[in-house]
């Protein structure tokens, strides 16, 4: 793979100074205003516009796990992995119409605060600790590891360089995060522009490489058509259930994306939990008014429909090239095919200048996600643990100071965990690592949120039972059910995993865990009052949408329908 040229370094340095300079300008203007309290630092206190909210949601969401992990799954499975992006558009509609009004009306600023308001302090504290561990040990660390791995592979794969990249990415993100949510939100607008332009450049080059491989010249559209003809199985959204004589490769694909069944199970839990019950995401909208928040969230939903072009198509292109005799050196690691190399394999063929732009795009995605995640860790710790249990009389200045200390500590811990891949992210596969381990607690969290929103009888005791049940059911179905109950039951089918055991697809495990968690919560809640005194008062007018909002929803649904009709 070619090294970076002088123009690549120049492009990247320009990107760095534009983002850093704009961030400093936003920070300087913020310092001159009268708002300087903790809510401004953690939530931007209503100063984010709808386009800044939408851009920040995308910049924080699209990170190394998408560029590297989703491209890797595009290489392995194909367009079916776009379900994570496209179903997210519907999830964002649901969040904008039904979730956000409840948060804003009840002045909810953090997810643990929601749980305390709706249930009790015990539920809030348990989940605050859960989220802190999840954000630090799964999300923050995996984003840093995958991002550094991708950039380092382009720089030649030197282990020393890998460590310098870890330091540089974490330092850049730290500078942005210490400016507070307003700086993060507005710099994310530039990050998204760089991300989209650089990502599209990478996709264009990937398609032209395919076109040249098939002797069609440098024609991106011809390259896409050639991919459709050469590998039609990579352009099917719904994977068929493997039969008794299916290959292990087909079984592995189904374990990741279990066909039509996942749309009745974990796919919704993944998306609704991520977009609606996640401090890291909802934080961007919680400081705004309802119309601004809704428009920003729906704008993000529209952008999600286009994201597979940037994060999945390059992986499919890499597969077609590999299948037809190309990219063998780039795709192999230690003599073995590594799907997570797909995106960086394509990046290596970019011309000078564009390579710098694409590395800037990848860096933008990584830094935006790291900064946003670090701010969320800081927000939960400071507002839901420090202020409530450690220093109850902490003033605004003290809370902001503590918030900055926690950001620095979280970033330092992620660097230490990433340094030698202590969590084994590289062996698991980036995208799968995040989805699978988040999935152990997602069913329980989503169950207590959705029932807490809309079922007035749900009690605090039932919520604690739900958290425990969700986790235990996830462990049961992911690790033990095939051994205990057999490979085929009326609830699930377990498939050989290629390592001597049997597995239930983890998205099916999530659906089953959610089902039994809801049953447990409902049964325990029946022992309480018919209406929990802490239940939210819901007014139907809260959920009414303006004509412009309805138009955005209809456009999103029409585009999504067209995509599924095309690639079903």
DSSP lists the bridge partners of residue 488 as 493
pLDDT at 436: 64
- The answer to whether residues 433 and 425 touch, using CB atoms and an 8 Å cutoff, is yes
Give per-residue pLDDT as tens, 401-414: 898 999 999 999 99
pLDDT at 455: 92
pLDDT at residue 261 greater than cutoff 90: no
pLDDT at residue 84 greater than cutoff 70: yes
349 confidence band (pLDDT: 50, 70, 90): confident
Burial class (CB in 10 A: 0-12, 13-18, 19+), 212: middle
Give per-residue pLDDT as tens, 359-383: 887 787 788 888 888 888 998 999 8
Choose among 278, 272, 274, 270: nearest CA to 114.
Answer: 278
Mean pLDDT of 334-338: 69
Q: Of 254-263, 323-332, 500-509, give the lowest mean pLDDT range.
A: 323-332
Give per-residue pLDDT as tens, 135-150: 888 888 888 887 887 7
| 503 secondary structure, DSSP code | E
Q: Give Cα separations from 68 to 108, 321, 340, 455, 466 (angstroms).
A: 34, 17, 6, 40, 34
Under 8 Å CB-to-CB from 434, ≥6 apart: which residues? 65, 69, 138, 139, 142
CA atoms of 169 and 237, how far apart (whole Å): 35
Q: Which H or E element spans position 336? A: strand 336-337
Q: Give Cα separations from 534 to 21, 115, 118, 541 (angstroms).
A: 46, 10, 5, 21
Q: Of 10-24, 305-319, 483-497, give the lowest mean pLDDT range.
A: 10-24
pLDDT at residue 472 greater than cutoff 90: yes
pLDDT at residue 329 greater than cutoff 50: yes
Give per-residue pLDDT as tens, 157-208: 677 788 888 999 999 888 888 877 777 777 777 777 887 888 888 899 889 9
pLDDT at 426: 63
Q: Which residue has the tokens 């929103």?
A: 453
446 confidence band (pLDDT: 50, 70, 90): very high
pLDDT at 34: 47
294-303: string of b/e by CB count within 10 Å (b at 16+)? bbbbbbbbbb
- The answer to whether residues 189 and 172 touch, using CB atoms and an 8 Å cutoff, is no
Question: Which sequence spans correspond to the domains of the chain?
Answer: 6-426
pLDDT at residue 39 greater than cutoff 70: no
Q: Give Cα separations from 36 to 29, 103, 181, 378, 387 (angstroms).
A: 11, 23, 12, 16, 17
- Give the CATH architecture of domain 6-426: Up-down Bundle (1.20)
Q: Which residue has the tokens 């968690």?
A: 517
pLDDT at residue 233 greater than cutoff 50: yes
pLDDT at residue 292 greater than cutoff 80: yes
Please give, one letter per residue, the 3-state secondary structure of 93-107: HHHHHHHHHHHHHCC
33 confidence band (pLDDT: 50, 70, 90): low
CA atoms of 434 and 142, how far apart (whole Å): 7
CA angle (465 as vertex; 463, 470 as ends), nearest 5? 95
| 327 secondary structure, DSSP code | S
pLDDT at residue 330 greater than cutoff 80: no
Mean pLDDT of 267-275: 89
Burial class (CB in 10 A: 0-12, 13-18, 19+), 214: middle
Q: Which H or E element spans position 175? A: helix 159-177
pLDDT at residue 522 greater than cutoff 90: yes
Give per-residue pLDDT as tens, 523-538: 999 988 888 888 888 8
Q: Which H or E element spans position 322? A: helix 313-323
Dmax over Cα atoms in the chain, in whole Å?
72
465 confidence band (pLDDT: 50, 70, 90): very high
Q: What mean pLDDT, rounded, does the chain reach? A: 85
pLDDT at 429: 55
Give per-residue pLDDT as tens, 89-103: 999 999 999 999 989
Q: Which two tokens stand for residue 453?
A: 């929103």
pLDDT at residue 2 greater than cutoff 50: no
pTM of the model: 0.85
Q: What is the DSSP secondary-structure string of 304-319?
A: HHHHHHHHTHHHHHHH
pLDDT at residue 430 greater than cutoff 60: no
pLDDT at residue 435 greater than cutoff 70: no
pLDDT at 305: 93
């Amino acid at each position: 793979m070619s090294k970076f040229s002088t123009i690549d370094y120049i492009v990247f340095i320009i990107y760095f100074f534009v983002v850093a300079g704009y961030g400093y300008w936003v920070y300087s203007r913020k310092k001159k205003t009268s708002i300087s309290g903790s809510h401004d630092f953690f939530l931007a206190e209503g100063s984010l516009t709808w386009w800044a909210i939408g851009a920040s949601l995308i910049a924080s969401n699209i990170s190394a796990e998408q560029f590297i992990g989703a491209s890797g799954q595009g290489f392995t499975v194909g367009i079916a992995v776009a379900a994570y992006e496209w179903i997210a558009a519907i999830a964002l509609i649901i969040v904008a119409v039904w979730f956000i009004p409840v948060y804003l009306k009840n002045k909810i600023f953090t997810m643990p605060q929601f749980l305390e308001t709706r249930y009790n302090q015990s539920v809030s504290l348990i989940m605050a600790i859960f989220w802190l561990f999840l954000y630090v040990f799964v999300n923050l660390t995996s984003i840093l590891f995958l991002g550094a791995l991708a950039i380092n592979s382009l720089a030649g794969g030197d282990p020393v360089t890998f460590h310098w990249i870890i330091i540089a990415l974490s330092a850049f993100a730290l500078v942005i995060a210490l400016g507070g949510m307003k700086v993060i939100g507005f710099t994310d607008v530039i990050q998204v522009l760089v991300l989209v332009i650089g990502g599209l450049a990478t996709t264009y080059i990937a398609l032209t490489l395919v076109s040249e491989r098939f002797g069609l010249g440098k024609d991106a559209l011809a390259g896409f058509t050639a991919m459709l003809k050469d590998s039609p199985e990579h352009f099917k959204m719904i994977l068929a259930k493997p039969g008794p004589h299916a290959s292990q490769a087909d079984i592995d694909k189904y374990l990741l994306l279990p066909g039509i069944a996942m749309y009745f199970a974990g796919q919704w839990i993944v998306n609704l939990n991520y977009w609606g019950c996640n401090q890291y995401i909802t934080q961007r909208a919680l400081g705004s008014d309802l119309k601004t928040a809704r428009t920003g969230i729906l704008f993000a939903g529209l952008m999600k429909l286009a994201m597979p072009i940037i994060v999945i198509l390059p992986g499919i292109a890499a597969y077609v090239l590999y299948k037809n005799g190309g990219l063998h050196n780039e795709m192999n690691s230690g003599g073995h095919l590594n799907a997570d190399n797909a995106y960086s394999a394509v990046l290596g063929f970019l011309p000078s200048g564009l390579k710098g732009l694409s590395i800037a795009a990848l860096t933008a995605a990584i830094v935006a996600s790291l900064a946003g995640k670090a701010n969320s860790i800081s927000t939960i710790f400071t507002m839901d643990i420090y202020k409530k249990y450690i220093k109850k009389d902490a003033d605004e200045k003290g809370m902001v100071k503590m918030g900055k200390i926690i950001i620095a500590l979280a970033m330092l811990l992620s660097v230490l965990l990433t340094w030698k891949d202590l969590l084994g992210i590289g062996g698991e596969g980036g995208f799968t690592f995040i989805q699978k381990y988040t999935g152990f607690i997602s069913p329980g969290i989503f169950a207590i949120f959705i029932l807490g929103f809309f079922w007035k009888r749900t009690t605090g005791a039932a919520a604690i039972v739900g958290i425990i049940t969700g986790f235990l059911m996830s462990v049961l179905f992911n690790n033990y059910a095939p051994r205990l109950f057999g490979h085929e039951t009326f609830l699930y089918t377990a498939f050989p995993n290629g390592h001597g055991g049997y597995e239930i697809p983890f998205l099916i495990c999530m659906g089953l865990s959610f089902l039994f968690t809801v049953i447990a919560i409902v049964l325990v809640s029946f022992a309480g009052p018919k209406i929990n005194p802490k239940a939210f008062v819901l007014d139907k007018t809260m959920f009414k949408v303006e004509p412009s909002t309805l138009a955005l929803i209809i456009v999103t649904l029409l585009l999504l329908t067209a995509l599924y009709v095309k690639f079903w």
